[in-house]
Amino acid sequence: MALLKILQYPDERLHTVADQVPEVTNEVRALVHDMAETMYAAPGIGLAATQVDVHRRVIVIDSSETHDQLLVLINPKIIARSGESDYEEGCLSVPGVYGKVPRSEQITVEALDEHGVTFTLEAEGLLAVCIQHEMDHLLGKVFVEYWSRLKQTRIQAKFRKQRRNVM
């Protein structure tokens, strides 16, 4: 296993739309394990392959208190949604920035697990928000892009300045 580099907003690669995984292979399972290790080390509760510059429809999530309930979603699709959520979100690709985004409170998602088996999951609350957040990454969208253009520009400027100061 290996820790992967997490892309930082406003990196253009975060806007790449992920491709379907045609088959769950050992290579995909290795990616899942590396993503999980990276997410836990960050620390975070969700990570999409897009965030580690792999443009495949793969997500790992663990929103449990004990950090031992890894959920793997390959080629996820939301098949039902209802209600509205009110959670404040953060993102490993936009560290230190938090805010609310309109999301569904309950969702039903269909996906493949790391063995290639199709399953359906009903999620609500934080888990539902996390799944929707990570699925946005697979579509090339970062959560701050739901906000006003002015707020996005300020966040981009902040991260560009931080990068200049590091170099």
Question: Which member of 12, 110, 134, 145 is catalytic?
Answer: 134
- List strands edge to edge, sheet with 71-82: 46-48, 58-61, 71-82, 106-112, 118-124
At 110, list the tokens: 């269909």
- Tally Cβ neighbours within 10 Å of residue 162: 12
| Active site annotation includes 134 | yes
Q: How far apart are CA 77 and CA 93, in angstroms?
A: 22
Q: DSSP letters of 151-167?
A: HHHHHHHHHHHHHHHH-
Token code pair at residue 70: 């890894």
Cα–Cα distance between 54 and 34 in angstroms, integer? 12
- The residues, any chain, with a CB within 8 Å of residue 108's CB and separated by 6 or more, are 78, 79, 80, 81, 120, 121, 122, 123
Which positions are catalytic? Answer: 134
